[in-house]
A and B are shown apart, each in its own frame.
Chain A
């Protein structure tokens, strides 16, 4: 039998500092910000009256995707002012997720709790402030804690549930969803990579061809991670839009 020693969790998640207080996670996050800024700065330099070409095409596709796929579906026309914010969130999260499958990076920046937690707290502050700005403090609390159309006696039950779900569970689930998805993908990739390596180097010669199986699984999971990286960024942007939309226009 082969015994597979899974490495310490810290050795696959904690990276050495490149220079003091700047490690690989920070490098990926900075690169994600720089790349997304560069794409749009290059795109905006082109003359907007001519037919778009090159990088501007690409930028317009992303903007249209956010407008049609996220904003129009959840907030409608009046939500279009939120496009830049949602676009920034989507692009940053996507570019933080994708290094999980890029060789030599091999680590999604969002698999460390700090990044998704900060993004979720930012969204939490923004939708609460938007709600208070649009409806006033009283109106916002009334529409979130006392949803209309509920029998009066049920408010004893409904109000605490609504409070917990709107104030505590929303940012928590937003952060944990992104974090756990990327972390799970990362650990799965590590597991299958280690398993195929251990089988390829097994002393028992008969085990070596068996190593092909986890290797195929590794290839399959890598392509699955391409999908997950996109889907998680999309869902994060979508839920942000839903929360902001819900705060600006309470359900009647």
Chain B
């Protein structure tokens, strides 16, 4: 593995190497950041639908709280997206 890496490194200028590493880690950064919020939002909305089905008269309140919860959970994924942009383009 190391021999191949050295071979590749010999072919590229440092700037290219840095760009490639940045592009690869940008992909990982966003992919990893999306796992947790994905599970979280799924769980959150699922439970909210359960609550709305059980008590339709409380649907308005549940929906408001659900949007707030989504906003907080989603922020984590969005920070991952910002890291992606910073790694890829900055």
Please determine whether chains A and B interact with each other in the same assembly: yes
Interface residue ranges, A against B (CB under 8 Å)? 9, 69, 73-74, 173, 176-177, 179-181, 183-184, 231, 234-235, 238-239, 242
Q: How far is the CB of A187 from chain B (nearest CB, A)?
A: 8
**Would you call B64 and A235 a contact (CB within 8 A)?**
no
**Would you call A239 and B71 a contact (CB within 8 A)?**
yes
B60: A residues at CB distance < 8 A:
73
Q: How far is the CB of A116 from chain B (nearest CB, A)?
A: 11
| B contact face: mostly helix, strand, loop, or mixed | helix
Beyond A9-B85, A73-B60, whether A176 also contacts B68 by CB under 8 A is no
Interface residue ranges, B against A (CB under 8 Å)? 60-61, 64, 67-68, 71-72, 74-75, 78-79, 81-82, 85, 88-89
Instruction: Output the nearest chain B residue to A69 by Cβ-Cβ distance.
Output: B64
Q: B64, B74, B85, B89: which contacts A177 (Cβ < 8 A)?
A: B74
Q: A73, A176, A234: which contacts B78 (Cβ < 8 A)?
A: A176
Q: How far is the CB of A164 from chain B (nearest CB, A)?
A: 14
Q: B71, B81, B85, B88: which contacts A235 (Cβ < 8 A)?
A: B71
Q: B68, B85, B88: which contacts A238 (Cβ < 8 A)?
A: B68
Beyond A9-B89, A73-B61, whether A176 also contacts B67 by CB under 8 A is no
Instruction: Output the nearest chain A residue to B64 by Cβ-Cβ distance.
Output: A73
Cα–Cα, bound, A9→B90 (Å): 9
Q: How far is the CB of B82 from chain A (nearest CB, A)?
A: 5
A242: B residues at CB distance < 8 A:
68
B74: A residues at CB distance < 8 A:
177
| A contact face: mostly helix, strand, loop, or mixed | helix
Q: B72, B79, B89: which contacts A176 (Cβ < 8 A)?
A: B79
Cα–Cα, bound, A74→B74 (Å): 20
**Would you call A183 and B67 a contact (CB within 8 A)?**
no
B68: A residues at CB distance < 8 A:
235, 238-239, 242
B71: A residues at CB distance < 8 A:
177, 235, 238-239
Cα–Cα, bound, A235→B75 (Å): 12
Q: With a 10 A CB-CB cut-off, give which of B68, B78, B79 has the most chain A CB atoms.
A: B78
Cα–Cα, bound, A74→B68 (Å): 11
Cα–Cα, bound, A177→B61 (Å): 23
Q: A74, A183, A239: which contacts B85 (Cβ < 8 A)?
A: A183
**Would you call B82 and A180 a contact (CB within 8 A)?**
yes
Instruction: Output the nearest chain A residue to B78 by Cβ-Cβ distance.
Output: A180
Beyond A73-B60, A73-B61, whether A234 also contacts B79 by CB under 8 A is no
Cα–Cα, bound, A179→B74 (Å): 13
Q: How far is the CB of A252 from chain B (nearest CB, A)?
A: 19
Cα–Cα, bound, A179→B68 (Å): 17
**Would you call B82 and A176 a contact (CB within 8 A)?**
yes
Q: How far is the CB of B20 from chain A (nearest CB, A)?
A: 15
Give the top 4 A-B pairs by smallest Cβ distance, nearest first: A180-B78, A9-B89, A173-B75, A73-B64
